[in-house]
Structure 1
Amino acid sequence: MADTLTPAQAEKEFWDSLKDSNTGMLGLDQAGYHHQPMTGFGEPETGTIWFFSRDDTDFARDVAVGGQDGMFCYQAKDQKVQACIHGALSIDQDRARIDKYWNPVVAAWYPDGKGDPHLTLIRFDAEDGRVWVSDKGGVGFGYQILKANLTKTQPDVGGVSDVNLS
């Protein structure tokens, strides 16, 4: 990846992409811990991503222990942005956030609606990570692969940058 991507550009691309394609893999940042697919609602102004969960899942119980570090691995549907973000996990019952992000997909997991006794929010305070951005598209990617094979060079498929999101 030869393109120059500044941390500010990478951070903006990540947050913008998360608005449109908000599912990734979230888990504790621990050896042997399996991440799971989760839908996140990002707030770039605070560096926070909110996830709905049931409090009777292993993951929510593990987060509820407190002081847990997490990892959010992300790939946009259009594959333009990929990221691996480290941060702090906690349980939060912020009613304003529940109201703000509640939608029919979320509601499907909670038979008793917003008053479901198992409804909880997992708060992910993003700290740092790495973001990859490629806007070459399918044709551009193919061209770069062809060019690299013909010239015996590496393809230029985008940029990568470390980011500090806290």
Structure 2
Amino acid sequence: MSDKTLTADEAKDHFWKALKDSNTGLLGLDQAGYHAQPMTAFREEETGTIWFFTRDDTDLARDAGIGGGQNAMFHYGSKDQKVWACIHGELSVHGPDRTLIDRHWNPVLAAWYPEGKDDPHLTILRFDGDDGRVWVSDGGLLTFAFEIAKANLTKTLPDAGGVANVNLQ
């Protein structure tokens, strides 16, 4: 499948760098019948924590707060489609935190909170990632096209990059 060996540390580095560059993924509770939803992630690489701003009147915020936290999955694909990840972890309600609000506040966030940083519905979810899998393909569209053509001509599998299991803790 791939000629490149990707270490867990390399995969984590690619994941954190990609998440910094394009920070939207799908977040949902890891339970039957629950669907992931698009969310903007704010990374804290040092601790493996990913913060999500949401309203306290959403299903996700309500359900994440049950029992102090829930198993969750964060699915991610970088804007350039070179990094893909599926990360398991615990999602909990952190609540409004002025330090985090001031650090990450931007016009996109502001659009969801009519009363600004002091909006009574503003809350923050904390995702503590643990294990996951990261796929990395350093090649671009031309490399991908070449690998597909080569695989079809030689009846072999294309080199789609590397994959590694990671632990974000």
Give yes or no for TM over 0.5.
Answer: yes
Q: Residue in 1 aligned with 2:92?
A: 90
Deviations 1:105-162 (A, max 9, x none): 0000000001000000000001010000001100000000000001100000100000
Question: For the residues of structure 1 that align with 2:69 and 2:124, how far apart are their CA atoms?
Answer: 16
TM-score normalized with structure 2 length: 0.96
Query: In the TM superposition, what are the counterparts of 1:46-125 in structure 2 within 5 Å?
Result: 46-65=47-66, 66-92=68-94, 93-125=96-128
Q: Residue in 2 aligned with 1:156?
A: 159
Amino acid paired to 2:28:
G
1:94 Cα deviation (Å)? 2.3
Q: Residue in 2 aligned with 1:36?
A: 37
Q: Residue in 1 aligned with 2:6?
A: 5
Query: In the TM superposition, what are the counterparts of 1:120-139 in structure 2 within 5 Å?
Result: 120-139=123-142
TM-score normalized with structure 1 length: 0.98
Segment drifting more, 92-101 vs 81-90: 92-101
Identity of aligned residues (%): 67
Q: Residue in 2 aligned with 1:24?
A: 25
Deviations 1:83-112 (A, max 9, x none): 000001111132211110110000000000
Structure 1 residues without counterparts, runs of 5 or longer = none
Segment drifting more, 5-14 vs 66-75: 66-75
Amino acid paired to 1:11:
K
Q: Secondary structure at the match of 1:108?
A: helix
Amino acid paired to 1:74:
Y
Structure 2 residues without counterparts, runs of 5 or longer = none
Q: CA RMSD in A?
A: 0.7
Q: Secondary structure at the match of 2:135?
A: strand
1:67 Cα deviation (Å)? 2.7
Aligned residues: 166
Amino acid paired to 1:21:
S
Deviations 1:62-94 (A, max 9, x none): 011123011000001100000000001111132
Ranges of 4+ aligned residues in structure 1 off by more than 3 Å: none
Amino acid paired to 2:18:
S
Amino acid paired to 2:86:
C
Question: For the residues of structure 1 that align with 2:149 and 2:43, how far apart are their CA atoms?
Answer: 37
1:31 Cα deviation (Å)? 1.5
